[in-house]
Amino acid sequence: MTANRNKIIVLYHYMYPDDVVSARHFDDLCVGLVSRGWAVEAKPCNRGYRGESRTYSMTDSFKGINISRIWRPPFSQSSSVGRVVNAIWMISAWSTIILRRKSSLPRCIIVGTEPIFSVLVATIIKFFRPNIVVAHWCFDMYPEAAVAEGLLPKTSRLNKLFSLILGKAYESCDLIVDIGECMRGLFLKYKISTRMVTLVPWALSEPNAPLATDAVERTKIFGKTDLGLMYSGNFGRAHSCNEILMLARRLRTHNIRFCFSVRGNRVDELHASITDNDDNISFADFAAEEDLEKRLGAADIHMVSLQPDWTGAVVPSKFFGCLAAGRPVIFSGSDDSSVAKNIIIHKVGWVLNENTLDDICAELILYSASPSKLRDLQTHCYKVYRENFSKEVMIDGWDLELKKTISLEEA
């Protein structure tokens, strides 16, 4: 049995036509690799992300990607039991398909982190098919994410068992692609010898210039304001609003407004945190994808948050979307986060905490009175994104690292 040197199989739970952010990134990666000469086959499940009753055809194609879907029972992803059962099902199905294949073996398999513990497939594949290169693109690191979410006590025997099993899976990979330096730090604790590289998730929307402000949308979101700040995206267990609300309340007496355009399992908690005195804070409906650029462009500055306990387990990809729009970022989270370090290195915003609150307030007041200075900062953010984090830069990196890994395995 010989492997096709240019053939890649991608294992991820959800892909086209689902619009969940991580699925879109895997779609883009596959399309980008096809354009660079790879033959790509994807094996997502046949269920829809936003409803188990939605199903897709078992075979499909999308921009050069051959899609062969895995039938999966309609267990709900919203329950812990459902997530575990779905993970076992998909890992078993993927392993069986690869091990039963007698011809046209892939030279490389890329596996993601959805469903949970997907990387366990690497242990099985490398044991039975050692010549296949396995690359793992890690969006959410386990069991660290489960510990941060409070589902798994850090000192429990179960956590130690998961760490042992997953450590062996990480060691089985030939290449691990993390999405931030802070995530790399968690991998290093496993003391694995696997090659590691950082390639971040790019913005799903990449305008040709910093987004222009739509006057109608801005007025609808912020009214008449000198400076508009927006939190747009998911607001769930990994996110927090305490420091952002402190900032907004400190700026009440200035013509600076804050807006949350969010969805997620902590949105009700966020609403409950707003008081009658918070008259410079508002909410907007979550924007549809076709309206996203108009929504993002309505704000002068964007906000991103990550609770410190989640540092490294995940990296907020919305940070890169903000830069792609040509907008600076206020990040509420740990100084150890990759987002915080990128903000400091590239001078594309502010890291918000109690120690920096006064300085950030002063700078925001300054920018609210100086539109030209704000435009210069926005242009700088856009340039930083294009040169360092764009889809073309990242997929070029993927192409290079896959070829390098295959060459090392063949040496």
Is residue 298 one of the residues assigned to a domain? yes
- The answer to whether residue 140 is domain-embedded is yes
Answer yes or no: is 375 within a domain.
Answer: yes
| Torsion (CA) 231, 77, 73, 17 in degrees, nearest 10 | 10
256 and 336 fall within a common domain: yes
Range of the domain at 236: 215-388
Residue 360 lies in a domain: yes
In a domain, 208, yes or no: no
Burial class (CB in 10 A: 0-12, 13-18, 19+), 190: middle
72: which residues sit within 8 A by CB, 6+ positions away? 45, 46, 47, 86, 89, 90, 93
pLDDT value of residue 232:
92
Q: Could you check whether the bond before residue 201 is cis, i.e. omega within 30 degrees of 0?
A: no
Residue 37 shares a structural domain with residue 116: yes
Q: Are residues 138 and 95 in the same domain?
A: yes
The enclosing domain of 309 has a CATH number of 3.40.50.2000
Q: Are residues 247 and 337 in the same domain?
A: yes
Mean pLDDT by 10 residues, the chain (411 residues): 77 93 94 96 94 92 96 90 94 94 87 95 94 95 90 91 95 96 94 95 94 93 96 91 96 96 90 94 86 90 96 93 97 96 98 96 97 97 98 97 91 67
Handedness of CA 146, 338, 381, 27 (dihedral sign): negative
pTM value?
Answer: 0.92
Is residue 20 in some structural domain? yes
Number of domains making up the chain: 2
Residues 89 and 100: beta-carbon distance below 8 Å: no
In a domain? residue 207: no
> Per the omega criterion (within 30 degrees of 0), is the bond before 153 cis?
no
Same domain, yes or no: 152 and 258: no
287 vs 291: CA distance, rounded Å: 6
Rounded distance between C-alpha atoms, residue 70 and residue 47, angstroms: 9
**Pair (319, 358) in one structural domain:** yes
175 and 31 share one domain: yes
Is residue 315, in this structure, part of any structural domain at all? yes
Based on the fold, state whether residues 345 and 366 are members of the same structural domain. yes
**Which token pair is 384?**
């930083």
Same domain assignment for residues 67 and 107: yes
| Claim to verify: residue 25 and residue 38 sit in the same structural domain | yes
User: What's residue 1's pLDDT?
Assistant: 44
Cα 167 from Cα 154, distance rounded (Å): 16
Claim to verify: residue 228 and residue 187 sit in the same structural domain: no
Cross-strand pairs, 231? 260
Same domain, 224 and 305: yes
> Are 167 and 147 in contact, with CB atoms under 8 Å apart?
no
Residue 128, helix vs strand vs coil: helix
Tokens of 141: 């690191």
Q: Are 261 and 228 in contact (CB under 8 A)?
A: no
Task: Kindly give, in sequence order, each residue whose CB lies less than 8 Å from that of residue 3, ignoring residues fewer than 6 positions away.
Answer: 105, 106, 107, 131, 132
